[in-house]
Amino acid sequence: MARRPLIAANWKMHKTVQEAKSFVAALLPKIAAVRDRDVLICPPFPLIHAVDQARRDTPILLGAQNMYFADSGAFTGEVSGPMLKDLHCEFVILGHSERRWVFGETDELINKKVLAAITHGLIPILCVGEKIEEREQNLTEQVILNQLDLGIKNVPENVIGTMVIAYEPVWAIGTGRNASAKDAHDAIALIREFIHSRFGSGAADKLRILYGGSVKPENMATYMREEGIDGALVGGASLDPESFAKLVTY
């Protein structure tokens, strides 16, 4: 089954409102001819409205970098699914390694967020991946499958194929050290086989699985040539419109 590639920009904690507007204005003419893949921008919360305004009447998709599982309440500093929907977000990144290892989010918390996102019509991009010490101890498969198993707990069978999974080895994020194409292929094949065994071929064939971790214009095509890799979740290289356009048009 041919899956539509997804190239997602995760801006992390970068840019001002004006910088965000300028980025979209610069990006649009560079990707105007692109018709066969999806382009997603996930800005910080304060920039979501500005990016939404700038991308109106264009194919660019909009996402958030995180959310909380409750709809409302006394949760200072948090943002809910209904708030993101009200801002016209279509996607939300959940379980990014920085949320797991910098902010201490557990698989159980991430699962609550995944279920809340689905409830509110947001497409979760669930991130999974191993740390360098886990890789050196040959625990990569165990870590990925555990994070995946707990992260999608109680997700309905008819929904799983509409989600996005991103394989992001922690040791390759923002380090300049990227996984080899074979490493990425093997991990993504493992994820798809897990989904196939749990939900069947229909869901496994529909599910888009991305690679993330020091993706750059210079190595993008190498990953996209690998069977089963459906796109990329890009950090640093997504901050410059020229660089991100090259990734989109790989």
Angstrom distances, CA of residue 169 to CA of 128, 187, 240, 244? 7, 9, 23, 21
DSSP three-state, residue 103 = coil
Q: Is 235 a known ligand-binding residue? A: yes
Q: Is 101 a known ligand-binding residue? A: no
Q: Is 12 a known ligand-binding residue? A: yes
* Active site (annotated) includes residue 90: no
- Helix 107-119 and helix 140-151, axial crossing angle in degrees, nearest 10: 40
Q: How far does the chain reach from its first CA to its final CA, in angstroms? A: 21
Contact 98, 66 (CB under 8 A): no
- Provide the 10 A C-beta neighbour count for residue 26: 14
Q: Is 97 a known ligand-binding residue? A: no
Q: Which entry of 98, 105, 130, 168 is annotated as an active-site residue?
A: 168
Pick from 227, 89, 201: which is nearest to 79 by CA? 89
Q: Is 171 a known ligand-binding residue? A: no
Tokens 């990707």, located at residue: 31
Q: Is 214 a known ligand-binding residue? A: yes
Q: Is 151 a known ligand-binding residue? A: no
Task: Fill in the amino acid letter for 186.
Answer: D
* Active site (annotated) includes residue 133: no
DSSP 47: G
Q: In the Cβ-directed half-sphere of 107, how many Cα atoms lie within 13 Å?
A: 13
Q: Which entry of 96, 105, 120, 130 is annotated as an active-site residue?
A: 96
**91-94 and 231-234: which strand pairing?**
unpaired
DSSP 209: E
Indicate the annotated binding residues for substrate.
10-12, 174, 214, 235-236
Positions marked catalytic: 96, 168
Indicate the annotated binding residues.
10-12, 174, 214, 235-236
